[in-house]
Structure 1
Amino acid sequence: MIPAFENVTTERLVLRPFRESDLDAIFTLHSDPETNKFSSHGPMRTLDDARERLTMWLNDYSQKGVGYWAVARREAPGVIVGVGGVRHKELQGQHVLNLAYRFSPETWGSGYATEVSRVALELARKHIPDVPVVAIIHQLNTPSIRVAERLGMRLDRVIDYEGMPSRLYLDR
């Protein structure tokens, strides 16, 4: 594990690798139709789907040293309100770090996605500088597009991502 990505605290948030005990939180977040409105897979249907996702994220940390974080508020560190950060991915034959963020609806508009993503970008630039960071965002997901633009990411092109036209943003 890359220590810098292990446990991070921002002004308002606690960011940490996922653990086995987070299964229900992953399912709750990913089974909500609102939080998955722009996902090509749609809402998660079963706890087995959540277990598969959790296993993938745990493997990211054990095999690559970095992956998406479980995100909680500092005042309630035991309650996961979202997921965010970077993970290694192959995209159109290129190795990249995919920047992603997904939060429960009650947190929308709080700036948490920008806060998490800003830290993830800083750490990726410092510790994994040879791998480009991208954000793949559904064309109609205006709030996520605004986050990428606020971070200074630039629109590179529109791609077909898992059957959906999506904007590909680059960190630099």
Structure 2
Amino acid sequence: MTQAFELMTTERLRLRAVRSSDVDAVFALHGDPETNRYTVSGAMRSLEAARTQLAVWLEDWSRTGIGYWVVERRDAPGAVVGFGGLRYKVLEGQQVLNLAYRLAPHAWGAGYATELARAALALAREHLPAIPVVAVIHPENAPSLRVATRLGMRLDRRIDYEGVPNCLYVAD
């Protein structure tokens, strides 16, 4: 299964497993207040925090064979435009695959989030069909809500996530 998830290309994107050398890209994206407007903890404040986050994602890949990807445009290899994909999570006592997509502001509005999320959903349906795929989205994050809707995900309910009300979308 690992190989199916480690590297994937879509029409415009190259999606690859994170690696330890991605720490600066993690910090650049997650340290930007604009990309973290709807994140409970806000923007990442240090390179050390980026290392800690990246270590979690690397452990996901090592332990489960899936995790978040680095998102690059195929026509600009090496230039990171975001992170996203699937990772295992326990949510309200249930094992799920959390679908995430976070892109740099210069990549917003190009359909990349939908493209990467569609690829992640296809892999989940093919390789892990018994595990629910969910997206936890802040109710004011209209672009992310539109992506989930465009993917055919449905609003299941509102949940308290890290002390903040969020929408829980589920893939059918």
**How would you bin the TM-score normalised by the shorter chain?**
over 0.9
> 1:103, 1:139 → 2: CA distance?
18
Aligned length: 172
Shift of 1:72: 0.4
| Residue 77 of structure 2: aligned partner | 77
Moved over 6 A (4+): none
Once the two structures are TM-superposed, the CA of residue 3 in structure 1 deviates from its matched residue by 1.1
Instruction: Report the residue type matching 1:78 in the other structure.
Output: G
SS of structure 1 residue aligned to 2:148: helix
Task: Indicate whether 1:41 and 2:78 are aligned.
Answer: no
Cα drift, residue 2 of structure 1: 1.5
Report the Cα offset of residue 163 of structure 1.
1.2
More displaced 10-residue stretch of structure 1: 71-80 or 95-104: 71-80
| CA displacement 1:71-123 (0-9 Å, x = unmatched) | 00111111111001110001010000000000000010000000000000000
What is the identity percentage for the equivalent residue pairs of Structure 1 and Structure 2? 61
Q: Work out the CA distance in 2 between the residues paired with 1:15 and 1:153.
A: 21
State TM-score, norm by structure 1. Answer: 0.99
Aligned: 1:15 with 2:25: no
Counterpart-to-counterpart distance in 2, 1:119 and 1:50:
25
Q: Deviations over 1:129-168 (max 9, x none)?
A: 1110000000100000000000000000001111111000
Report what 2:122 is aligned to. Answer: 122
Mind listing any 5+ residue stretches in structure 2 that lack a counterpart? none
The separation in 1 between residues aligned to 2:164 and 2:146, in whole angstroms, is 19
Residue 144 of structure 2 aligns to a residue whose secondary structure is helix
* Alignment-derived partner of residue 134 in structure 1: 134
Q: Counterpart of 1:102?
A: 102
| Partner SS for 1:110 | coil
SS at match of 1:35: helix
One-letter amino acid of the structure 1 residue matched with residue 4 of structure 2: A
Structure 1, unaligned stretches of length 5 or more?
Answer: none
